[in-house]
Structure 1
């Protein structure tokens, strides 16, 4: 199994249950890991034989730009896009952190993690 990951990808976005969050926005951090069995020899040194992390970044950027109430919805949308783009993937793990959520005291981040396993579907 081979894993391609992006870690600590930062975005400014407008996700949040409360209207104020959707107006003022905030910082979010995405960690994304995609695992698969290579379909061809990696020694071919060909990007079409792997998952392109530039494409993964583009998927994250696109989904983060869609304002949603729940970060769970955003994480699932990232997974949906990855599995559509790369139907051969076996596992996708998304950890989405909302930095300094508006709570009654200091909180570094809230987070949601969703893991897709091909065999579970």
Structure 2
């Protein structure tokens, strides 16, 4: 298996349990790593044979636009769409981090990691 990674996708979104989080929004960072057999793509030089990082990025952007209470929910949606839309992907991990979370302390970010498999 081979890997495709998207690191530090920076987005602004409206996730959280507090009402002000869904009104004001916050900065987020998304990291995605997928495992896929990329030998065919290495030989064919065809986009259809790989885990296209442009498609993965688009999925992350679109799913982050839908507000959720929990980061886990957003990560699951991203993972499910990757599996649905990119058949070559066998498994992966989505990490979603909220920058400067409103937790009453000096914390740079909080994050969750969500692993998935076909």
What is the TM-score when the length of structure 1 is the normalising length?
A: 0.92
Q: Is the 8 A contact 2:10 2:27 kept in 1?
A: yes
1:39 deviates by 6.5
- Matched with 1:31 is 31
Aligned counterparts, 1:81-96, within 5 A: 81-96=81-96
Computed over aligned residues only, the root mean square deviation of the Cα atoms, in angstroms, reads: 1.2
- Matched with 2:99 is 99
Deviations 1:24-76 (A, max 9, x none): 00000000011111362512211111011000010000000001111110000
Structure 2 stretches of 5 or more lacking a match? none
Distance in 2, matches of 1:49 and 1:39, equals 9
What is the TM-score when the length of structure 2 is the normalising length?
A: 0.94
Is the counterpart of residue 3 in structure 1 residue 3 in structure 2? yes
Is the counterpart of residue 42 in structure 1 residue 51 in structure 2? no
Deviations 1:11-36 (A, max 9, x none): 00000111010000000000001111
Runs of 4+ in 1 over 4 A off after TM superposition: none
- Matched with 1:54 is 54
The number of equivalent residue pairs is: 118
Distance in 2, matches of 1:41 and 1:108, equals 39
Structure 1 stretches of 5 or more lacking a match? none
Distance in 2, matches of 1:86 and 1:39, equals 16
